[in-house]
Amino acid sequence: MMKTSAEVNLLLLLLVFTLHVKGMRYSPPGKPALTRCRSPEKETFTCWWESGSDGGLPTTHALFYRKENSEAVYECPDYRTAGENSCFFNKNNTSIWVSYNITVVASNALGSTFSDPVDIDVVYIVKPNHPEMVTVTVLEDKGWPFLRVSWEPPHKADTRSGWITLIYELRVKLEEENDWEMHLAGQQKMFNIFSLRSGGTYLVQVRCKPDHGFWSEWSSTSYIKVPDYIQREKPMWVLITCFCAFIFLILTWLLHMNGHSLKDFILPPVPGPKIRGFDKQLLKNGKSDEIFSSLVVSGFPPTTSPNCEDLLVEYLEVYVPEEQELMEESKDLHDICLKSEGCTSDSDSGRGSCDSHTLLMDKFREAKEEKRQRDQEKSRTGTEDQRQQKDWEEEGLTYAYEDMVSPNISSGRVETWPSLFSPLPQYSSSRHSQKSSLEKAKKHCFSDSLFPPGSTSFSLDQGGQTTMEAIRSSNREFSLRIKQPHLLHSHTQARCQLQAHSEVNISSIGCKQALGGLRSPAPHSAEYVEVQRVNEENTVLLQPVESGHGHIDGCSQLPLGKDYSRVQGVDRYNRLLLKGEVPQEGDCLYDYQDMTGDGTENCYTSSSVPSIQKPTACIHTVIMGHDEMVLAENGYIDTLTARTLPNY
Amino acid sequence: MTMTTVIQRAVWVLFLWPYLLTCSLPLDCREDHGSFSRCPSISQEKLLDRVIQHAELIYRVSEESCSLFEEMFVPFPLQLQRNQAGYACITKTLPIPSSKSEIQQISDKWLLHSVLMLVQSWIEPLVYLQATLDRYDGAPDMLLNKTKWVSEKLISLEQGVVVLIKKMLNEGMTTTAYSEQGLLQFDGQPEMLESVMRDYTLLSCFKKDAHKMEILLKLLKCRQTDTYNCA
């Protein structure tokens, strides 16, 4: 005995010595601590502890407990079942409603350390396992789906006998969201979730708790996908429909507000007849006879059928060249004018005596001839033409519509005088203008056919009519006016006609015009404008020729029916000599004014001068270089010429 | 009595004569009266359910009261240590089974009797507790109301258990006679730590015993409905 104890002591000393020699410091173990005790079903429980420092020596732990009403200390019956550093109390060792006083002891070679005692009552440390068999299904309630979640209590918890009463809680969330939606289910084992998102995937978890104790862990996640029960397109279509309806309402409101102006924009009002003194009611009545009769100026149509040659004036060349040139050109012009052939007047037919094609040819020929002449007198003629045009135009303008045709007319005029007049501004490019004007003449001549011969717009003779038609074609916008019966100089509206006529006339280069050839179903009287004079601004002042009106050159009167469609020539005074085709009276010489400006010679086919009836002179101020005025008793001034004025 | 009052009463009697035969009888009417058992009886299952509901409610309210008291009056370090001060529960002497296996072994009779013992032993302490809490300064009304409610419900619970015993065991029991002097005396001054701890222990013990009652009754119910599968 002594030996064994001595040996033991020696061994211990050696151990300590060796350990000491090794330089390690050893100490009794640190204080352990009970971390927690849990009971899953109120029938067993487990306690866990953690150890303190082991002091460098292998330490062992032991758990001792003492029940409430006894002083007996028992040691933990099971250290392994629950794992490391744990003590498991089985059913036989578990008493509820009894406090346990538990202590853990850590001991090593150097000593042992007791932990702080802990009093527990099993009833209050119950933490059940999570619910089991969680099932989630999608059911329908009147077409609307909902989730039904059902579960079972943990199999260890004896809820059936009432030993444990559990209350449940579940949480739901969408797959893509972060926040859970909590629902307390009480003691029931089933729960319904409504208001689901169509086509979404839901995550469901359940946990439980005894009426006294801790919440269990969440059960494993259950996934459920809700079928699509809301058509995705519907809200979009509803939105689109509402948007369109809104836009439609706005448009309707805008239309309502601006309806009138919009209507005017889309359907511009048809201009009504603007003939002075003309009753619109006649048009509304629709009786053509009345209309034409009202437009007809009595006495217009020449009672005598003039000769074609007399009636037709191929062209009127009006320019203001130098006097010599004027003389020459006047002669040439005269010759050219006289050369114009091909048309036999047909005052009855209502159309040009010559076919348009024929007239066209004539025009071309004359245009070519004039071209040569124009080359010499480019700018001057041009200006002259334009001046004359302007004068005549001005005449019309002064009569009625100052605003109507002025620049356009002038431009049209320029266009419609292909060979005779070059465009005003292009003095230098007379040739070009001649060409263009030639083309325009072509155009115009072609356009002759476009206009019905019976149009009432022009009161020229056949040739003149054709030319006017041609001119008209180029100035379609003015065709209406030209067509207007007021050209038949029975009214003051004749001014407008004069304008139109002048336009047309200018274009009718070389076209034979019948002074009296005012085309209209009704006998028309030709009104002619006399070139009264040229004022300082080089404008040709035209005077309507009236019966009984005295004129300078002796063709004292121009009774109605006289046609002044022929330009006789240009005298040295830069006066346009118009020839009045009055068989009785013979030809009168009319002065015409040279048109300065472009070099084109302008042969004016006089249209019916509506101003004839007017006592006041048609004053077309044609800007010309000469002061002299050309009075044309029988001559008539083109509406074209009348246009020249506005050009300036 | 004037003539009019007599006539009025006669009229009333004539109109209400069928109801004369009925009378409001207490719920626990005695069935030994004979054939005329107009006493509305309640089935055993329903009675047991009602008793269990009572017990559940009592436990819940007692738990809330204990928590309230603990927050208000008990210093924090002492909260976790129950029965520390050595104030053992007054019912510790009662032979109440303390584990499930033990409970499975006792009979229905013993279950009921155990419950009855528990209930009857807590009636007076609760009255005392209620009186003590009234003397506390700053005791919240909710606490007072709860304890009052609990004591009242405990009395009705006792009545129910008595009837239950009578029905199930065919035993006649007597209800507790209330005595003015309770087992516990008022001693000391309230709101001193000692009294606080004593009251706290009282509440805790009652909470535990209420839970006992609930469990026992539920186990009893399980036995009634499904004998073989009950634990």
Q: What are chain B's domains?
A: 46-78+98-225 (1.20.1250.10)
Q: Is A91 on the interface with B (CB under 8 A)?
A: yes
Looking at mean pLDDT, say which of A56-60, A410-414, A565-569 comes out highest: A56-60
Output the average pLDDT for chain B.
79
Tokens 């004022």 sit on residue: A535
- pLDDT (0 to 100) of residue A54: 76
Residue with the larger pLDDT of the pair B165 and B178: B165
How far is Cα A632 from Cα A543, in angstroms, rounded to an integer? 8
Instruction: Tell if the CB–CB gap between A42 and B100 is shorter than 8 Å.
Output: yes
pLDDT for the residue numbered A88: 93
List the single best residue of B48, B115, B208 to mutate versus A (max A Cβ within 10 A). Answer: B208
Res A51: pLDDT: 85
Which residues of B touch chain A, with CB atoms under 8 Å apart?
52, 56, 59-60, 63, 80-84, 88, 92, 96, 98-101, 208, 211-212, 215, 217-219, 221-222, 226, 229-231
> How near does any CA of chain A get to the CA of B63, in Å?
9
- Contact between A95 and B98 using a beta-carbon 8 Å cutoff: yes
The C-alpha atoms of residue A488 and residue A454 are separated, in whole angstroms, by 13
Place of tokens 């005396």: B185
Binary contact (B231, A121; C-beta < 8 A): no
- Judged by a CB distance cut-off of 8 A, whether residue A348 touches chain B is no
Q: Do B222 and A161 touch (CB under 8 A)?
A: yes
Cα distances (angstroms) measured from residue A87 to each of A34, A42, A93, A390, A405 = 10, 16, 12, 128, 120
* Cβ proximity of A425 and A648 under 8 Å: no
Nearest-CA distance from B98 to chain A in Å? Answer: 5
pLDDT score, position A562? 57
Chain A window 489-518: which residues touch B at a Cβ cutoff of 8 Å? none
Q: What ranges in A60-110 are assigned the alpha helix state H?
A: none
Chain B residue closest in CA terms to A70: B92
**Option in B56, B60, B222 nearest A160 (CB):** B222
Query: Which residue in the set B80, B96, B219 is minimally distant from A161, CB to CB?
Result: B219
Task: Output the pLDDT for position A108.
Answer: 85
Say if the Cβ atoms of B59 and A211 lie within 8 Å: yes
Higher-confidence position of A614 and A100: A100
Closest approach of A96 to chain B, Cα-based (Å): 5
Mean pLDDT of B176-185: 55
B100–A43 C-beta distance less than 8 A: yes
Minimum mean pLDDT range among A47-51, A159-163, B39-43, B131-135: B39-43
DSSP string, A298-344: TT-S-SS---HHHH-----------HHHHHHHHHHHHHHHHH-----
Which of A375 and B73 is assigned the larger pLDDT? B73
Beta carbons of B81 and A119 less than 8 Å apart: yes
Min distance B105 CA to chain A CA atoms (Å): 13
Residue A293 has pLDDT above 70, yes or no: yes
DSSP conformation class of A116 = P
Contacts of A165 in chain B (CB under 8 A): 56, 218
Question: Quick one: pLDDT at residue A35?
Answer: 92
Highest mean pLDDT among A93-97, A277-281, A293-297, A354-358 belongs to: A93-97
pLDDT at position A18 is: 66
Q: Would an 8 Å CB–CB cutoff place A20 in contact with chain B?
A: no
Q: For B134-187, what is the HEC assignment?
A: HHCCCCCHHHHHHHHHHHHHHHHHHHHHHHHHHHHHCCCCCCCCCCCCCCCCCC
Q: Which residues of B touch A123 (CB under 8 A)?
A: 208, 211
Contacts of B215 in chain A (CB under 8 A): 162-163
Tokens coding A178: 């972060």
> Using an 8 Å Cβ cutoff, are A317 and A600 in contact?
yes
Per-residue model confidence (pLDDT) at position A336: 47
Residue written as token pair 């359907």: A267
Q: To 5 degrees, how large is the angle CA B161–CA B166–CA B169?
A: 105
> How large is the ipTM?
0.76
Under 8 Å between Cβ of B193 and B77: no
User: pLDDT tens, A146-197?
Assistant: 999 999 999 988 888 888 999 999 999 999 999 999 999 999 999 999 988 8
d(CA A616, CA B177) in angstroms, rounded, equals 145
Residue A460 to residue A516: CA distance in whole angstroms: 5
Is residue B25 scored above 90 in pLDDT? no
Q: Which residues pair with A592 in a beta bridge?
A: A576
**What tokens appear for A504 in the block?**
């047309």
Chain A residue numbers with beta carbons less than 8 Å from the beta carbon of B230 are 160-161
Q: Closest partner residue to A162 among B59, B212, B218, by Cβ? A: B218
Element (H, E) at A494: helix A494-507
Chain A residues with CB-CB distance to B221 below 8 A:
162
In this structure, what DSSP letter does residue A616 have? S
| 3-state DSSP of A202-269 | EEEEEEEEECCCCCCCCCCCEEEECCCCCCCHHHHHHHHHHHHHHHHHHHHHHHHHCHHHHHHHHCCC
The count of CB pairs under 8 A between chains A and B is 66
| pLDDT, tens digit (0-9, with 9 covering 90-100), for A427-474 | 444 444 444 444 444 444 444 444 444 444 433 344 444 444 444 444
Cα A324 from chain centroid (whole Å):
62
Partners of A540 in the β-ladder: A534
Residues of chain B with C-beta less than 8 angstroms from the C-beta of A98? 98
pLDDT tens for residues A577-589? Answer: 777 665 554 444 4
Residue identified by tokens 């619109």 is A280
Contact A471, A640 (CB under 8 A): yes
Are the CB atoms for A397 and A499 separated by under 8 Å? Answer: yes
All residues of chain A having their beta carbon less than 8 Å from the beta carbon of residue B79 are: none
A529: phi then psi, degrees, rounded to nearest 5: -115, 135
A32-47 mean pLDDT: 91
* A36 interaction partners in chain B (CB closer than 8 Å): none
Rg of the Cα atoms in chain A: 61
Two structure tokens written together for B147: 């304890």
Q: What is the pLDDT of residues B190-200, one digit of tens each?
A: 557 778 888 88
Cβ-defined contact of B218 to A163 (cutoff 8 Å): yes
Confidence of residue A218 (pLDDT cuts 50, 70, 90): very high
Q: What amino acid is encoded at A500 in this protein? A: A
Instruction: State the nearest Cα–Cα gap between B201 and chain A, in angstroms.
Output: 13
Strands A540-544 and A529-534: antiparallel
Distance (Å, whole) CA B16 – CA B31? 27
**Average pLDDT of chain A?**
66
A222-225 vs A45-50, strand pairing mode? unpaired
Helix orientation angle between A462-474 and A476-483, rounded to the nearest 10 degrees: 140
In this complex, do B218 and A165 lie within 8 Å of one another by their Cβ atoms?
A: yes
Which residue of B lies nearest to A156 if distances are taken between CA atoms?
B231
* Other Cβ atoms closer than 10 A to A12: 11
Contact with chain B for residue A123, Cβ under 8 A: yes
Packed helices A430-448 and A406-416: angle between N→C axes, nearest 10 degrees:
90
Q: Find residues 32-61 of chain A whose CB sits inside 8 Å of chain B.
A: 42-43
In this structure, the dihedral spanned by the alpha carbons of residues A106, A108, A113 and A118, taken in order and rounded to 10 degrees, is 10
Task: Return all residues near A495 (Cβ < 8 A) that are at least 6 apart.
Answer: A395, A396, A397, A398, A399, A400, A401, A610, A611, A614, A618
Nearest to A69 among B92, B99, B221 (CB): B92
pLDDT in the model for residue A242: 95
Residue in chain B lying closest to A92 (CA) = B101
The proportion of chain A whose per-residue pLDDT surpasses 90, expressed as a percent, equals 18
10 Å CB burial of residue A2 (0-12, 13-18, 19+) is: exposed
Q: Report the amino acid identity of residue A25.
A: R
**Chain A residues within 8 A of B105 when measuring between CB atoms:** none
Mean pLDDT across B85-95: 72
C-beta atoms of A163 and B63 within 8 A: no
Determine, for residues B219 and A43 on separate chains, whether the beta-carbon distance falls below 8 Å.
no
Is the confidence at residue A340, as pLDDT, over 60? no
- Asked whether the predicted pLDDT for residue A105 surpasses 80, the reply is yes
Question: Best interface-test mutation with B: which of A44, A69, A92, A96 has the largest number of B CBs within 10 A?
Answer: A96
Give Cβ neighbours of residue A371 (< 8 Å, ≥ 6 apart): A419, A431, A434, A435, A438
Task: Give the pLDDT mean for B204-222.
Answer: 90
Six-digit token string for A556: 């004292």
